[in-house]
Amino acid sequence: MDPQTVIAKRIARELKSGMLVNLGIGIPTLVAGYAAPDVQVFFHSENGLIGTGAIPAEGMAHPTLTDAGGRPVTALPGASTFDSAISFGFMRGGHVYITVLGGLQVDQTGHLANWMIPGKMVPGMGGAMDLATGAKRVIVAMQHTAKGQSKIVATCTLPITSARPVDCVVTELAVIRFTGGKAVLAETAPGVSVEQVRSATEADLTVADDLHEMGLS
């Protein structure tokens, strides 16, 4: 199973019926495809859509129906579209239960950096700051390392997205939760040892007493 699939399938297990869930760009968009059939959630895209469906089949994309990153999506029956003012009102008003965001770095206290690399052209923060601050739960979906360097660091060297720590990070190696200013290793991916996670992680990790294997079914 490829790393992005592992991440998306594990995060999908966090979804419960009735939730309003925002999916960021990149790996987070894959989560919708792994939600259990009996779980009825409402997927929100910050550009003004509730009822986001799966990525359309080739040749079936609608030119004006996209997610916040411009990627084609589908709209489920009963979907609602609205302007950015209303969309950001959902985000800032605490109405989004879970947001799943991509990440460039997360530090050992749970601070997320996901919007800027100094010296490189980037599209901007978009709604990441609003989501990281306003959603009831913030889950980061990202691969554990990039070019051999850990993305779970002692201190972020990139500009952070919000002063509020995230709730957890899901990578292809582990689920790491943040509580009391500490990074807690809660789950390891199938076939991955604690030592492998530690060696790929710059941040200090506390191993949970109830550490268990990540469920992916």
The token pair at 134 is 């306003």
Active-site residue, selected from the candidate residues 46, 187, 195, 213: 46
| Residue 72, number of CB atoms within 10 A of its CB | 15
- Give the model's pLDDT for residue 122: 64
Mean pLDDT for the chain? 93
Closest by alpha carbon to 16, among 42, 34, 39? Answer: 39
- Domain extent listing, the chain: 3-213
CATH topology of domain 3-213: Glutaconate Coenzyme A-transferase (3.40.1080)
Mean pLDDT value across residues 152-156: 97
Closest by alpha carbon to 165, among 133, 141, 143? Answer: 133
In percent, the amount of the chain with pLDDT more than 90 equals: 75
pLDDT at 121 over 70: no
At 25, the pLDDT band (50, 70, 90 cuts) reads confident
| C-beta separation of 144 from 114 below 8 A | no
Residue partners of 97: CB distance under 8 A and separation at least 6: 19, 20, 21, 135, 136, 137
46 is a catalytic site residue? yes
- Give the model's pLDDT for residue 123: 63
At 38, the pLDDT band (50, 70, 90 cuts) reads very high
